[in-house]
Amino acid sequence: MTHRHTITFLAACAVPALLAAQKPAADSLKARRDSLETVVVTAVRATAVAPAVAQSTVTRDDISRRFAGQDAPLFLQSTPSVTAYSEAGGYSGYSYLRLRGIDQTRLNITLDGVPLNDPEDQVLYFSNVPDFLNSMQSVQLQRGVGSSTFGTASYAGSLNAQSLSLATTPRGGELDLTGGSFNTMRASAQYATGVLPGGFAAYARVSKHHTDGYRYHSGNDAQSGFLSAGWFGDRQAVKFTGMAGVSGTRMAYLAAPESILAIDPRTNPLTDHEGDRFHQEMASLQYTRALSDGVTWTVTGYRNSAAGAYDVDFGDGTIGNYFLAHVWYGAFTALTVREGAWSLDAGAHASDYHREHALAMRPTLNDRAYTNVGHKQEQSAFAKLAWDDGAWRWSADLQVRHAAFRYVPDKNAGIGEASTDWTFVNPKVGVTWRAAPELSLYASYGRTGREPARGDLFAGADDLNSTNAASILPLTRVQPEQVGDLEVGGTWTSGALTVSADLFDMEFHDEIAAIGKLSLTGNPLRQNVDRSYRRGVEGELSWKVSDRVTATANLAVMQARIADYTDESVGVTYHDVEPLMTPPVVSNQRVDIQLSPEFSLSLGGRYVDRARLANDGDARMVTPASWLADGGLTWQRGLVDVRLQVNNALDARAEAGGYSSGGDRYFYPVAARNLLLTTTLRF
């Protein structure tokens, strides 16, 4: 960085008031407002500033064409290297995604830069925020060690959501009504004011959803709301974002034996009185200021909370009611600097979190068996620097992150408090070469570390006391996991055809790998494995065949191995085995056809190769490979859209996940052929 650029950066940090007094930027007011609103998203996403990474972005148009209330994991499974399943087999409830075979607790999930991963579990339960995608401008899914961001580690990748843009969304409203198979019903209403003469703008949405679920007694009833409001001045902006959801779900977290599914694929081993009800809220307030034409600074404060309870049938007539409640506060700041050939994004974050865990037996819920509390704090900072040199762009990214966990047991547990902490230094470098106007190539390498989740530290237990503490404590028994990730790829465009490819090599140390077993409450159990890897290639193709026909496809081919895995329950060690739920091949295909000015047709297919149910190399214990077809027909006239979607159109039998037990296969089934009809009215 030159002497002049260094002075600019230091002045931006130390004396923002002086820089704010400079002459306003010459760009249009609308463009300035948009840049003020998206500065944090720009700082955390894979952009020209961040090291080159493999990524796919779902746009607002994509959401408008295909969204019908599905949980985000199910909607995003059409992107490269993503697999997903729903416990209920249908569109909503508890659903999960895996990226390159790695579960979503390893994904950093943010909304406008605000971290959404629960600090203890390191997961966002999308069932708590139904209709989430309905209020999004775009969602970027980065694969591999991606760009530094706020919150939990971007270990397998990151999912960065941007809320609907207040600065660019015109005034108007929308009413969505959806109905279909499994008694599915959804109603959603939203309205945006556009930017008013005084610089104020607002957007609001309310939604209600019901489904019986594909599996027996696996449905849910949910409501959600989303609100954003802001004021945009000449060189500054203030924006509030809030969302809230409540969901009552009938539980289906256990897979069913293959032999029973062959008779009735809708079988649910859980009883019809096992359910849950949770609510979750998030609110953030962001202030952004353009300090100069090339320097923008923002600061954000947020609060996240959730609470609820779920029932577990212990099998002897006793119903246990598990209660959870957390409150989480945090703040972060971001700075962007654009000066000639140099670009800089920097940020810092701190948060404080605590969650109460309790168990009571029905019907005496006021008489608790235990109450314990987990506390977690985090502090992190990052800086991303990029430099243009002709056809080359060089970039570097460094993050330092510290996390600390403290456990306060029940007063009658017979043990004392326990605590541990971790510090991670995560570097990334990248280079992009514009080899020709139609060809761009990149390479990047990054390393990152991630601490164990609470469930990993406690071996799936919800409470520690004198009877189990000796087998779990100290909390340092489970090691943090590390990954080094090399990505090499490129994009070639020729007229209407765009092709991109990415080669990746992810080398893990002390990976906290799933072992194919569940805790009493249905959470996956995991343990450290010393060495493992995932290597493969991902490709995407987009071809505008004609003015009326567009074809898209993606393909991921991967080899994944665990060097040595020990099944601690039997004391057997397996060598060079494939990790569970990591299919070697995943592919999506889609053709969109504009049949006439009013009618459009979409045809799609999805292939998922077989996947292991355990880490023991047993070729019999796999989910079968499957290919599913879907289609959609849309009629549009004026301000009215009517869209019919047919999922699993060929009525194929397919299993989206599962596990093995005692030599038997247990599966989560994919719903049989089903339909959704959505009517959209705009005003």
CA distance 22 to 438: 39
Model confidence pLDDT, tens digit, residues 573-628: 999 999 999 999 999 999 999 999 999 999 999 999 999 999 999 999 999 999 99
Model confidence pLDDT, tens digit, residues 223-244: 999 999 999 998 999 999 999 9
User: How distant, in Å, are the alpha carbons of 207, 370, 412, 421 from that of 463?
Assistant: 36, 8, 11, 20
Average pLDDT over residues 2-18: 39
Domain boundaries, the chain: 3-682
Model confidence pLDDT, tens digit, residues 472-509: 999 999 999 999 999 999 999 999 999 999 999 999 99
Average pLDDT over residues 67-93: 92
3-class SS of residue 644: strand
Q: Which two tokens stand for residue 572?
A: 């057997």
- Predicted confidence at residue 300, as pLDDT, reads 97
Whether residue 25 is predicted with pLDDT greater than 60 in this model: the reply is: no
State the chain's mean pLDDT as an integer: 92
- Predicted confidence at residue 15, as pLDDT, reads 35
Give the model's confidence band at 50: pLDDT under 50 very low, under 70 low, under 90 confident, else very high. low
- Predicted confidence at residue 30, as pLDDT, reads 67
Average pLDDT over residues 281-304: 95
Residue 463's contacts (CB-CB under 8 Å, 6 or more residues apart) are: 357, 359, 370, 372, 409, 410, 413
What φ, ψ does residue 456 adopt, rounded to 5°? Answer: -70, -45
Mean pLDDT is lowest, of 91-100, 401-410, 449-458, 633-642, for: 91-100
Model confidence pLDDT, tens digit, residues 96-152: 999 999 999 999 999 999 999 999 999 999 999 999 999 999 999 999 998 889 999
Average pLDDT over residues 30-52: 71
Residues above pLDDT 90, as percent of the chain: 85
Whether residue 26 is predicted with pLDDT greater than 60 in this model: the reply is: no
β 157-163/172-180 pair status: unpaired
The alpha carbon of residue 258 and the mean position of all alpha carbons in its chain are separated, in whole angstroms, by 30
User: How distant, in Å, are the alpha carbons of 185, 434, 441, 495, 496 from that of 492?
Assistant: 43, 10, 9, 10, 11
Q: 642 with 634: CB under 8 angstroms?
A: yes
Model confidence pLDDT, tens digit, residues 508-527: 999 999 999 888 888 899 99
Residue type (1 letter), 258: E
3-class SS of residue 421: strand
Model confidence pLDDT, tens digit, residues 306-338: 999 999 998 888 999 999 999 999 999 999 999
The class level of CATH for 3-682 reads mainly beta
